[in-house]
A and B are shown apart, each in its own frame.
Chain A
C-alpha cells in the first residue's frame, strides 16, 4: 500500500483513457487493449486525483463524502491506487 507517500500526486497514465459512465469509472488501457471498470467510490477517487489532489486530500474527500473511517478510507484508496498503477491505468506525477 502506498500510504507512505500521502503528498504524492497521481494522474491517468498518458496511454490510458478514463471516463465516468453511469457512475462507474471506465479505464481504457490503450497499449494492452483492455477495459477496466471500477465502482462509484473508485471513480470518485480517480476524479479527485485528476483534480490534482494528493492521496491525503483524496482520503479526506472520501471520508467526508462516504462517512467512512479515515483509516479504512486510507487503506482502500491506497489499495486502489496501487492496483491501478500496476495495471498501467495511473502514473505517479
Chain B
C-alpha cells in the first residue's frame, strides 16, 4: 500500500482529497504582481457557511485543507475556521505571506489550528528587493524575524517565491538565506497573469538570462547528474503512470474563492458551481461543468502526448492556459518557451 497510489487512484475515481479555501482577498502587503482578481465581486461566505462546508468536506473524507488568500489571517473568522478544521481532523496547510506571523500569533495558530505546515512568501534575498515587490517597507526584516520565531516554536515551514525581473539575480542568495533559516524554498519561475486575465503582472516576468541563471542555481541544489529539465521530465513521466489524466484538477482537488465560487483548482478560474446556490457534495457529484473539466484533463494529456517527449518539460497547466486565453488546451508562452529547447533536443538525432 502506498499513499501515492491512493492519490493516483483518486484522480481516476474522482475522489475529493484536497481543497484550497481562499478565505479573503484582503492582504496586509501590496504585491504589484499579485494574481488575485481584486475587482471580483460577490457575497462573502459566512462563518456558518464555512462550518457547513467543512462538515460536508469531512463527510466526503477530504484529507487536506489549505487556508489561503489574499492573506488568510486577514479573515475575521480565521481562528474559528482553522480551529473547526482541526476539530474535524483535516490536515491543514496555511499559506500566508508571513507578515503577521509574529511569535504570539504563531503560538496561537499552533495551539488552535495546529497546521501541518505554514508556507510563507519570500520575494528576494535582501530587504530592498523583497520590500520593492511587497510595496511594504520593513516586510523583509519582519518576515525573517517571524520565520525565526516560528522555527523556534518547532513549526514546519516552507518558503515560496516567484522568479521575477527584480529578484532573478538573487536566486542563489535566496537559497542560502533559506538554508540558514532551515526552511525549504520553492521558486516558481513563472509570473502568472491576474485571475481576470490581466497580463500586467507579466511586465516583471524574469528575463531569458534570469531564467537561465535560475536553472543553473536550481541545478546546484540537485544532486548528481540531474538537471532541472530532467527532474521536471521525470516527475511528469511518473505522474502519467496509472492515469489517463494530465492532473487532478477537479478530480481530486478543488478550490473555493471568498465568494463561494467553486473552482477546479486555484489556477483554473472557471467556476463549476457556487456554494450560495448548492452544497459542495452536490456540486462534486452533479456539476456538468466539473465533468467537462475532468474530460479536459484527459484531453490535455492526449494533446501533450501528441507533442512527444518534449512536452514532458512543458510543465503545462490547463488552468494557466485558461487564464491566458480562455482555452485550457491552448499552449501559452511560458509553457511554449520551456518546450522549445526540449523539441530541439528531440529533433537533433533525426536531423
Contacts and interface: CB of A to CB of B under 8 A. Distances in A.
A17 to B, nearest CB: 5
A22 B116 contact: no
Main secondary structure of the interface of B (DSSP, over half): loop
B6 A26 contact: yes
Size bracket of the B interface: 10 to 19
B6 A30 contact: no
Contact of B6 (A18, A22, A28): A22
A18 B17 CA distance: 12
Contact of A24 (B6, B62, B90, B156): B6
A21 B6 contact: yes
Contacts, number: 45
A50 B217 CA distance: 48
* Chain A residues touching B, majority SS: strand
Interface in B60-97: 61-63, 89-91
Contacts of B89: 12, 17-19
A1 interface: no
B226 to A, nearest CB: 23
Contact of A30 (B2, B3, B116): B116
B169 interface: no
B87 to A, nearest CB: 11
Counting chain A residues whose Cβ lies within 8 A of the other chain, the interface size class is 10 to 19
A17 B1 contact: no
Interface in A54-70: none
Given A15-B114, A26-B63, A30-B114, A21 B90 contact: no
Interface in B1-42: 1-3, 6, 9-10, 13, 15, 17
A24 B116 contact: no
A11 to B, nearest CB: 11
Contacts of A39: 1
A41 interface: no
B313 to A, nearest CB: 29
Interface string A22-51: 101010101001010111000000000000
A84 interface: no
Most buried by B among A17, A20, A30, A33: A17
Given A19-B61, A21-B10, A21-B61, A26 B90 contact: no
A17 B117 CA distance: 13
Interface core residue of A14, A19, A38 (most chain B CB under 10 Å): A19
B319 to A, nearest CB: 24
| 5 closest cross-chain pairs (CB), A and B | A37-B1, A35-B3, A19-B63, A28-B91, A17-B91
Interface of B: 1-3, 6, 9-10, 13, 15, 17, 61-63, 89-91, 114, 116, 156
15 contacts: A15-B114, A17-B63, A19-B61, A21-B6, A22-B13, A24-B6, A26-B3, A26-B63, A30-B91, A30-B116, A33-B116, A33-B156, A37-B1, A37-B3, A38-B1
